[in-house]
Chain A
């Protein structure tokens, strides 16, 4: 039945079915047509604005022109950091077709060394694709042109004219100024602006470059160009000039900074000089350092190896982050505390070479004793027994507040990322920190700047300045034409004069630093020597033996003694004694008053050291490149990690040795004979304490 029915339908119905179905198809087609028209209307009318913007942003490419960075000037207006016009080449990794071939080709065109190529590959591996990677800067025109004409074969390579940062005095300002470098992925996350991923743009990575980043940066220029999908420029539409960043003028005296840094020589140490009238920091040298010029393209393998191998902690700004037991340099401060507490400076004590404290004998550095000692002699002969005696009588509650008033444990308002401000121990601190009661021997240790007491070189300089002027000098780094009004320290009577005279005698009288006398008529230096013990007496003798076990040499000073204008401090790590420090202070001040005379001395020394720090570093780099080539581990990516690790090496090395206990084995030392700078023709390197005493006695 159904089949029959179907046949009946089919006979006439097929024709009908075709008509019906073709009409239906036609309707569907019409419907699709309407749908398409509606869709097009939606795209072209409703969404028109959005798509027009997208088309425009396709067509127009905004190229940022990195702004010229503001200069960093010294107090005289000379640049400590400036810009040099140069040709440079960057790579934008994600635009490269064949990174390997491109790098090889660039290596050939720019004649890069294997080390440079390896460093470039390292940087490419680390980079996020959109972040430009610097290939080379400071190219000459021929190299630049060689790259430019081959651009079609080198996608992702960006040659350009630009400016790169230049530090005329290189390593001398490394710790102070810091350095610049391409923005890291972390920088870009923190500050998500296109400028940070513009080829050629550098951001402050350390020191003042980092602190004053926003001031120095300036406004980028821009170039609007019409580009094809492949990035070829069709035509220029518009160009806006960049606005150079603002200059930052420092209180630093550029030549003095350079001199001091170079004068430190092969030692590891720091020099601070302050202007006593304004608090201006004239010099803040810390060596060994790095050359900020060579860091701006990133830290390469060899540089990293050099840093890691150096036990002189080349990445730490020792002026702010070096903490040292101040040793005898605190004695003028302690004396001032005694005076203010009512001690008569003429009151004497008999030094027989030691003093019993509790059930132990504390020795004076001079085992034969100083005889009758008053306050002045206590300072200029650095007699420990004098201080043991009166400190026990007057107590730590007199000394600790004075130490803090004079700048110890103080964090100064300076534009730096961090300062280590050290410790002035007192009974409350000891209880809190170590959970024990203050003992008489703690006072005894503190009065000679040992035990728990720690200070940085800037604090020692400020201490000298405040003692010398009787004013509450505050150091500053940014030049300000206004002269600050410092509050008086309100020392009573002639106390300032008493201390000043005693410190004068250290250098110019029968004191411990006779050889620090300035070779300049009418300018007399006053100061105080200090020798800080690093390891327990049982480990090392202090002035000889392994470098890292030797005593630190310290010296703080002011000049001229009768009308203090400059104050400062020199700290030489493991210098063997204060004899390593005060000759540097003497030469730095000599340079300040008579540059020619100062330079003569420096040239003589640098000849023996093998050139200026920059020259020595270049030689060392060449030697390392020769020895290791590229077969050395690559540096960590993050500069902060590098700093930490380079520091960590030093710290680990220090930990290998038994540290100085607070109450055991303190060995009052005063090795004040002038120690010839490391690396100079060895005269008597091992002056004994006894030998120096004899000489001092005759002065």
Chain B
């Protein structure tokens, strides 16, 4: 019956994901409403508006053809690298570090765009790489350069969190592309050796401090450890049922730092308790599982890698943010997708979602055409 009422393109949308996702955004808006002291402005309203705008953008993306996306991969990547260079230049001219480009009404953070862009370009690269080259240096070196250039630019900002996200996205792409397993084992080993070296020679003072504080937050309860300690207090004091909507003392009395961005999960958990936390985890689980299914169902190498890479990017955000607010990872400035207030992160995540929906559409087209 419904087939006749709902237009076919709409019916083919992945509603089983979009509905939980919209609920998660609404829930996020409710948390932001409370964090603003019971007000739609300044966080909650713009959160919903951004979701609507970027969802529209995602729906437009859905309509792109595979050939177009393949063709656009390198130009998009190059454009984002250029933007990163531009940010660096402007920052250097402005006499300090800068992460944003002010484009009239919108503030653009190019490093955010790089997260989906690296996935896109690597998917394109491995798709075009002859199958026989997978075990050789040709599979590693160009991809390595593609990853290293934006990483270096982002590290100069300096933004360790985003650089790690790019590295993670790139690494996952390489892994899924089928590069030999022992390479990963070797680099894991190298990483273990390099980590202490990086700690002492690469990380900035404040980054070193964050790592130290993560290892022992109580050592500096009023300084850098304050964030982690207060976040754990917020989550722990919420209990199973939470303190009630609008009753979170940690966020309302400003003990919790950044209650609307990086620590929005703690704000939520204080008022909604374990129940709210599990609900959020469940929605992320649904979204990520759907992303993996889309990747696995993809008919060709390009779309499979693209979908899997986008899923991994969202996962990285979610995992690092939640581990950070629960005291399992050092404080790196990574927001929680769909809940934290912030345009750039919403855009990145909706690009990922849009890409997944696009691949999902390609899958379904293949199914209709009977070419599977």
Interface set of A (CB-CB < 8 Å, partner B): 6-7, 10-11, 13-15, 17-19, 21-23, 25-26, 29-30, 32-33, 35-37, 39-41, 43-45, 47-48, 50-52, 54-56, 58-59, 226-230, 234
Structural contact, A18 and B253, CB atoms closer than 8 A: no
Q: Which of B43-51, B98-106, B110-118, B127-135 contacts A (4 or more CB under 8 A)?
A: B127-135
Structural contact, A58 and B249, CB atoms closer than 8 A: yes
Structural contact, B240 and A44, CB atoms closer than 8 A: yes
B315 within 8 A of A: yes
Structural contact, B175 and A39, CB atoms closer than 8 A: no
Q: Which residues of A contact B211 (CB under 8 A)?
A: none
Bound state CA distance, A459 and B36, in angstroms?
76
Structural contact, A44 and B253, CB atoms closer than 8 A: no
Bound state CA distance, A56 and B234, in angstroms?
11
Q: Which residues of B contact A55 (CB under 8 A)?
A: 233-234, 236-237, 249-250, 255, 270
Structural contact, A44 and B232, CB atoms closer than 8 A: no
Bound state CA distance, A40 and B277, in angstroms?
8
B28 within 8 A of A: no
Structural contact, A18 and B274, CB atoms closer than 8 A: no
* Contact among A15, A39, A54, A227 for B326, CB-based, below 8 A: A39
- Map CB proximity to A onto B260-280 as digits: 1 under 8 Å, 0 otherwise: 000000000110011001100
Q: Which of B6-14, B75-83, B288-296, B359-367 contacts A (4 or more CB under 8 A)?
A: B288-296
Q: Which residues of B contact A23 (CB under 8 A)?
A: 296
List B84-125 residues whose CB lies under 8 Å from chain A: none
A33-B281, A33-B284 known; A230 and B254 CB under 8 Å? Answer: yes
Q: How far is the CB of A21 from chain B (nearest CB, A)?
A: 5
Q: Which residues of B contact A21 (CB under 8 A)?
A: 175-176, 178
Bound state CA distance, A10 and B133, in angstroms?
9
Q: Name the residue on B nearest A17 (C-beta).
A: B178
A-B complex: 4 closest residue pairs judged by Cβ atoms: A51-B236, A55-B237, A229-B254, A43-B236
Interface set of B (CB-CB < 8 Å, partner A): 131-132, 134-135, 172, 175-178, 230, 232-240, 249-250, 253-255, 269-270, 273-274, 277-278, 281, 284-285, 288-289, 292, 295-296, 301, 304-305, 308, 312, 315, 319, 322-323, 326, 328
Q: Which residues of A contact B240 (CB under 8 A)?
A: 44-45, 48
Structural contact, A25 and B239, CB atoms closer than 8 A: no
Bound state CA distance, A52 and B230, in angstroms?
11
A26-B292, A39-B326, A51-B237 known; A45 and B274 CB under 8 Å? Answer: yes
Query: Besides A45-B274, A52-B237, 5 other CB < 8 A contacts?
Result: A22-B308, A25-B312, A29-B319, A44-B240, A51-B236
Bound state CA distance, A43 and B328, in angstroms?
12
Structural contact, A44 and B269, CB atoms closer than 8 A: yes
Structural contact, A44 and B239, CB atoms closer than 8 A: yes
Q: Name the residue on A nearest B314 (C-beta).
A: A29
Structural contact, A40 and B315, CB atoms closer than 8 A: no
A10-B134, A32-B319, A40-B326 known; A22 and B236 CB under 8 Å? Answer: no
Structural contact, B269 and A40, CB atoms closer than 8 A: yes
A39-B326, A39-B328 known; A6 and B135 CB under 8 Å? Answer: yes
Structural contact, A47 and B249, CB atoms closer than 8 A: no
Bound state CA distance, A29 and B232, in angstroms?
23
Structural contact, A51 and B295, CB atoms closer than 8 A: no
Q: How far is the CB of A174 from chain B (nearest CB, A)?
A: 42
A10-B132, A36-B281, A40-B326 known; A25 and B176 CB under 8 Å? Answer: yes
Q: Which residues of A contact B278 (CB under 8 A)?
A: 37, 40
Q: How far is the CB of B8 from chain A (nearest CB, A)?
A: 30
Q: Which residues of B contact A18 (CB under 8 A)?
A: 176-178, 301, 304-305, 308
Structural contact, B178 and A228, CB atoms closer than 8 A: no
Q: Name the residue on B nearest A24 (C-beta).
A: B175
Bound state CA distance, A10 and B250, in angstroms?
55
Q: Name the residue on B nearest A48 (C-beta).
A: B239
Q: Which residues of A contact B254 (CB under 8 A)?
A: 228-230
Q: Which residues of A contact B269 (CB under 8 A)?
A: 40, 44
Structural contact, A22 and B296, CB atoms closer than 8 A: yes
* Contact among A6, A19, A59 for B296, CB-based, below 8 A: A19
Q: Name the residue on A nearest B241 (C-beta).
A: A44
Q: Which residues of A contact B296 (CB under 8 A)?
A: 19, 22-23
A-B contact pairs, 19 of them (CB 8 A): A11-B131, A13-B178, A18-B177, A21-B178, A36-B319, A36-B328, A39-B326, A41-B274, A43-B232, A44-B240, A51-B236, A52-B236, A54-B236, A55-B234, A55-B250, A58-B255, A226-B249, A226-B253, A228-B253
* Contact among B132, B234, B292, B326 for A22, CB-based, below 8 A: B292
Structural contact, B255 and A229, CB atoms closer than 8 A: yes
Q: Name the residue on B nearest A50 (C-beta).
A: B236
Q: How far is the CB of A528 from chain B (nearest CB, A)?
A: 69
